[in-house]
Amino acid sequence: MNALPDNEKTIRLLKADDGLFFEKVYKHYFAALYAFATRYLDGEEAKEVVQDVMLWLWENRASLIPEMSLKSLLFTMVKNRCLNRVRHEKMKSRTLEAIKEKYEPIFDDPDFYLENELLTLFNDALKRLPESYREAFEMSRFDGMTHKEIADLLNVSRQTVNYRLSKALEILREELKDYLPALFLLLL
């Protein structure tokens, strides 16, 4: 691990940096932060968390306080973000289990809609969306892109992406309201 100057000098250099010193800080902390994050998350998620924290450091370097321990800050941020993801996954799992329990009798009914019919209904509703709404929805839900990535790709603001997604969901919810529980479980 490359040695860094003392904490105060490191923060002063980061604040005045054009990227070269940040790269040294990144290399200095990345492996340790990643190893720490893997205590909570799998490898790829742990890597994402560490990269998010390091991006935050770069974007907020001007507001760092030299008296604050950079090492403690980074490790605390990684831990908190990891715990938030773990909590989110647990909540998501509990919600899916509750939905499954509630609607399982419906799905076990032989007269219930066939999978292909549900997908056809969903795809038809999706095709009827205005093109800009459908495009944002597909990028978000099917391609797993973030709102920022979509905004950058479409050359629009994040607010525009948020608006398009919320309108797409509103329209889909209305058109598919009778089939939502089944579609929800099917699409997962």
43: domain CATH number? 1.10.1740.10
Q: Is 91 a member of any domain?
A: no
Residue type at 181?
P
**Tokens (6 digits) for 118:** 């549900």
Same domain, 81 and 117: no
Same domain, 121 and 180: yes
User: Looking at residue 135, what is its pLDDT?
Assistant: 93
Give the whole-angstrom CA distance, residue 127 versus residue 124: 5
Q: Is 93 a member of any domain?
A: no
H or E element at residue 5: none
Mean of per-residue pLDDT scores for the chain: 86
Q: Is 100 a member of any domain?
A: no
Per the structure, the count of domains in the chain is: 2
Q: Is the pLDDT of residue 181 over 80?
A: no
Q: Is the pTM of this model over 0.85?
A: no
Q: Is the pLDDT of residue 41 over 80?
A: yes
Q: Print the domain residue range for 146.
A: 113-187
Same domain, 11 and 73: yes
Distances from the Cα of 30 to the Cα of 34, 52, 104, 105, 157, angstroms = 6, 11, 45, 49, 31
Q: Is 19 a member of any domain?
A: yes
Q: Is 160 a member of any domain?
A: yes
Q: Is 154 a member of any domain?
A: yes
Q: Is 101 a member of any domain?
A: no
In the chain, pLDDT over 90 holds for what percent of residues? 53
Q: Is 18 a member of any domain?
A: yes
